[in-house]
């Protein structure tokens, strides 16, 4: 009989931190089946966010009370990560892919090999600078209002 491990994580930042966090590290999936949902991440008031999804699936929602500039590093070993990004953000993405992976860059334009940015950059809006790396799996972008 096969043993099945499952994990479900949901973290919601319902309020803003009083102080700014310089680096916020978030480990992701390490079981056979993992689903992680992180909601309203901009409420963490972090300058840098690092998310590692070793095995499993995760959804990172960058909505929140106050949108802010953030540097984001997303690493996927074996699995998938969905980035939910409010349309008000400017996005700059550096994506490292291989033939076993896919990174959805819908809504972004390619500036050169492995580099993408929002089609209509607005200097008055905050910017998410994303560095993405996928071994075997995918990173998808879903835009929100």
In this prediction, residue 83 carries a pLDDT of: 94
Residue 62: how many other CB atoms lie within 10 Å: 24
Q: Grade residue 58 by pLDDT with cuts at 50, 70 and 90.
A: confident
In this prediction, residue 32 carries a pLDDT of: 44
Compute the mean pLDDT over every residue in the chain, rounded to the nearest whole number.
80
In this prediction, residue 29 carries a pLDDT of: 54
What CA–CA distance (Å, rounded) separates 12 from 60?
A: 10
In this prediction, residue 20 carries a pLDDT of: 64
12-48 pLDDT, tens digit per residue, is: 455 565 666 665 566 665 544 455 667 677 777 788 8
What CA–CA distance (Å, rounded) separates 125 from 117?
A: 14
What CA–CA distance (Å, rounded) separates 117 from 129?
A: 9
82-110 pLDDT, tens digit per residue, is: 999 999 999 999 998 788 899 999 899 99
In this prediction, residue 130 carries a pLDDT of: 97
Which of 109-131 are b and which e, b meaning 16 or more Cβ less than 10 Å from the residue's Cβ?
eeeeeeebbbeeeeeeebbbbbe
115-138 pLDDT, tens digit per residue, is: 999 998 999 999 999 999 999 999
In this prediction, residue 46 carries a pLDDT of: 82
Residue 5 has pLDDT above 60, yes or no: no
């Amino acid at each position: 009989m096969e043993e099945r491990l499952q994990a479900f994580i949901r973290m919601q930042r319902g309020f803003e931190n009083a102080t700014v966090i310089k680096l916020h590290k978030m480990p992701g999936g390490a079981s056979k089946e993992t689903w992680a949902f992180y909601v309203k991440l901009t409420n963490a008031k972090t300058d840098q966010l690092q998310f590692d999804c070793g095995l499993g699936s995760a959804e990172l929602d960058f909505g929140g009370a106050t949108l802010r500039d953030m540097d984001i590093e997303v690493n996927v070993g074996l699995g998938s990560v969905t980035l939910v990004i409010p349309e008000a953000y400017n996005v700059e993405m550096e994506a490292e892919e291989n033939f076993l992976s896919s990174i959805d860059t819908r809504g972004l334009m390619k500036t050169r090999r492995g580099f993408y940015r929002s089609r209509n950059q607005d200097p008055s809006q905050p910017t998410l600078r994303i560095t993405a790396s996928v071994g075997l799996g995918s990173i998808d972008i879903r835009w929100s209002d």
